[in-house]
Every structure is written in C-alpha cells, then in structure tokens.
Amino acid sequence: MLKLNPHVTAIEEETAFTVLDRANALKAQGAPVINLGIGQPDFTPPRHILEAAEKAVRDGPHGYTSPQGLAPLRDAVAQYVARRFKVPVTAEEVVIVPGGKVTFYFACQLFGGLGTEILYPDPGFPPYRDAARSSGARPVAYPIREEKDFGFDAAEVLSLITPATRLIIVNSPANPTGGVVARKEMQKLAEGLLKHKQVAILSDEIYSHLIFKGTEFTSFLGFPELRDRTVILDGWSKTFAMTGWRLGFGIWPKALIEHVKKLVTVDHSCTSVATQMAGLAAITGPMDEIEHFRQSFEHRRGIVVAGLNAIKGVKCRMPGGAFYAFPNVTGTGRDSGVLARELLEQAHVAVLPGESFGRNGKGYLRLSYAASEADIREALARMAAFLG
C-alpha cells in the first residue's frame, strides 16, 4: 500500500478555489451567478504591460534566467521598493518567484521543520497554515480581532512565542478581512520581537498598494533592527491585476539568499522569462491606471459596506485596504457556512464562509468586491432578499 507523507496529506483545500469551481459549474448550467468569492481584480493589466509581454514572447529572451530572477528586474524591484518606503534595498536581496505564495512557502520550508512552530493569523490566508504544516512545523494561530478593526493585539501575539517558534507571518492589509494593522500595534510587535532572536518575520505586503483614505500602511521594512530576519512578500497579482501571470518577489536578508536560490533551483529553476519582462514594464512604467484601480476599489468598498449594513442582522466594519469585506452575520441567526452555501446555491451569489479562514472566522462571510459595480449592487440586492 502507498504510504503518503502526512505533512502533505494534512493540507486542507482552499475554499476560494472550490467555490470558484462550483460557481463556474452553476454558470455553465445557465445560473446567473455573481462571483464575490475569488480574490482577484476584475481589470485587465495596463496596455504597456501586455505589449512588453508580447514583445518578450516574440523577440526573447527565451532561456532560463538566474534562479534569483533577471538582473534588470531585481534592480527595478529594489529601486521601486526603496523609493516607496524610503529604505535601502539592493538587487542582491530580491528573489523573483512565480507568484506571491512562493515566498511564504519557501520561508516556511527554510524556518520550519519538525519540532518548530510557525505563528499565523486567524482568520487569515489559509495557505499560511498549510505551508507551515507541510514543512513539518506546528502551525500556531494568533487571533485577528474585529474589535481591533481586524488587527491583532501585539502583546497577545508575543505571548504565543515559545522556544520552538521560528517564524511569524504578518499580513496587512489582510485577506480575508481587509484589516490594516495600526502602526502603533505593528511597532509594539516589532519591539517585542527584538528579544526573540530565533524568530523570523514574514510580512505579506501583497495588498500594500490597496490602502484607502484615512488608513496608513506600515511596511515591516520600516523596522531596520529586524531587517536581518525579515522577509517581505509582494508581487504583481493584486497591484497590477496580474493574478494569472504568476509573478511575485521576496526581499530576503542577504545571509539567506543562497538558501533561497537553492530552493528556487530545486522547485522551478526560474520564473517564466516573458512574465519577468512584463513585470519589468509594470514597475518601471506609468502608475496612473494602478491608481485608477485603487480608486475604483475604494468606491466599491463604500457601496458594499453600506449595502451589507442595511441588511438586518449583518454588521460590517469599514476595511482599510485590500478588496475584501468581512461582515459579521451572527445577527442573522444563521450559521455562516450554511449561509454561504445557500447564497451560492439559491441566490447564486458566491461568497466565502469566514471559517474557511480559520476558527476565528466563524460567524463571518468574506466578500471580494473586485467585481463590477452593477454585479456588486445586484449581489447585495439578492443577499438582502434572501435574508428577508
């Protein structure tokens, strides 16, 4: 009989993709499904990015690149990040990977392993837990709290650190809540981490461009005293509407780069070269369309939050970033898992149950408002009608 690796078989399915499959199956049968389940911008990448990709496919380069990524792209990423956060970043610290996810997967591989613990947010992006688990580490959830505007309490997070803790994953702006951790709280966490020298930090900043009025983004690059154990995750998926292109970058401590390059080599050799050329055009080109995407999300956020709060039994905080709303539906008297399923099957509105993001997500739904305004309004009307 086949004996499988229990660290791999313990991986759970990512509900966003299961719901996407079901929504598409219903659509294929003719149901007028509106999908607020999957988290991806509904825009096409700006024209100059598409043209750069076309040119790269036609004219090359066509071969493998360095496992770390094309040198001009790493240079451009270093400059782009240094300019945004006013911190020194060099191309040596940048590793280009096929999608944002790869950076946290590699961080879990590098810092995890049997006998270790990895701290991750709950509710939070589900693959964090599974990437930790598949390394052999024990994933340890720390709570994200609605009353903290979907941020964390730094003292509570720090209290979960043990001698076995090797990595803490932080995500702001966050999936699934849209919460943005206040600078004060992030600072408290950073200060507390100073004395836990065995703990590395993975800061997932993939939504850092999607910050709305009145909210301030704090990059973990702003804590230089932790830089030698901080990994920054970012990429092109959410900022440039390029989820399907699979392109991300990590900024790693210099001393770890050799290990990360070996992980890249074992896993995928290098990221698709044409995609890297498109990524170069994206971050060196005009950003006006990107700002337009951000403003559209901010506008839709207002519609979603107002619409949800108008439904009896539903309470929704104003998220500070990303493109998610995370309404509390306990007041409807319905189970969030059952409600999400019924909304898809009966009202044909795909949303995700909060518990698919961790135990603390029970009683909530996640709506991605990366959809057209007309679809959002129709989905809200159907939800209101369904909930009476």
Binding stretches for ligand PLP (CB under 6 A): 39, 99-101, 125, 171, 175, 204, 206, 235, 237, 243, 248
Distance CA 248, CA 103 (A): 8
Whether residue 70 contacts residue 276, with contact meaning beta carbons closer than 8 Å, is answered with yes
Q: Please tell me whether residue 325 adopts helix, strand or coil conformation.
A: strand
Whether residue 97 contacts residue 250, with contact meaning beta carbons closer than 8 Å, is answered with yes
Distance CA 316, CA 326 (A): 6
Q: How far is the CB of 197 from ligand PLP (least distance, A)?
A: 26
Q: How far is the CB of 176 from ligand PLP (least distance, A)?
A: 8
Q: Which is nearer to ligand PLP, 175 or 332 (CB)?
A: 175
Provide the token pair at 379: 């989905």
Q: How far is the CB of 33 from ligand PLP (least distance, A)?
A: 20
Q: How far is the CB of 39 from ligand PLP (least distance, A)?
A: 5
Q: How far is the CB of 40 from ligand PLP (least distance, A)?
A: 7
Q: Which is nearer to ligand PLP, 100 or 354 (CB)?
A: 100
DSSP assignment letter at 246: -
Cβ of 295: how many Cβ atoms within 10 Å?
A: 12
Q: Which is nearer to ligand PLP, 65 or 243 (CB)?
A: 243
Q: How far is the CB of 101 from ligand PLP (least distance, A)?
A: 4
Query: Is the torsion defined by CA of 61, 62, 63, 67 positive or negative?
Result: positive
Q: Which is nearer to ligand PLP, 325 or 387 (CB)?
A: 325
Q: Which is nearer to ligand PLP, 39 or 358 (CB)?
A: 39
**Residue 202 β-bridge partners:** 169, 231
Whether residue 329 contacts residue 365, with contact meaning beta carbons closer than 8 Å, is answered with yes
- Phi first, then psi, for residue 339 (nearest 5°) are -60, -45
Q: Which is nearer to ligand PLP, 106 or 387 (CB)?
A: 106
